[in-house]
Amino acid sequence: KAFGLDDPMLQTACAYHTTGAPDMNTLDKIVMLGDLIEPSRTFDGVEALREIAHQDLDSAVLMSLDYTISYLIRRQRIIDPRPVFLRNQLIGAGVHYPSE
């Protein structure tokens, strides 16, 4: 609401775009992934993530969560439990990386 967004779906998508959360809808996932793979991002693996995003949204979200969680672990940072729950939910639903 602070940014003039009155639509609850947009509010939720914006609220969780950096962490993710269980039960994300398609819009939530697109906003989260779009922020991570936008053109100015240059981290190792972003090109592969961009390619997968064009093939399978859930697989790309899973890969983005794995990247983010690994990044936080390497830097000994606290990890919000919501992306871990989302990752487990996706894996439990049979989501996996596309075959190479």
pLDDT tens digits for range 8-66: 666 565 666 667 888 899 999 999 999 999 999 999 999 999 999 999 999 999 999 99
Asked whether residue 3 is assigned to any structural domain, the reply reads: no
Instruction: Please report whether residue 77 resides in a domain.
Output: yes
User: What would the mean pLDDT of 60-81 be, rounded to a whole number?
Assistant: 96
Q: Which domain holds residue 82?
A: 8-92
CB 65 within 8 A of CB 91: no
Helix pair 57-74, 81-92: axis angle to 10 deg = 140
Token pair, residue 91, equals 């894996």
- The widest CA-to-CA distance across the chain, in whole angstroms, is 43
Q: What's the gap between Cα 76 and its chain centre?
A: 20
Residue 68, domain CATH: 1.10.3210.10
Q: Kindly state whether residue 55 falls inside one of the protein's structural domains.
A: yes
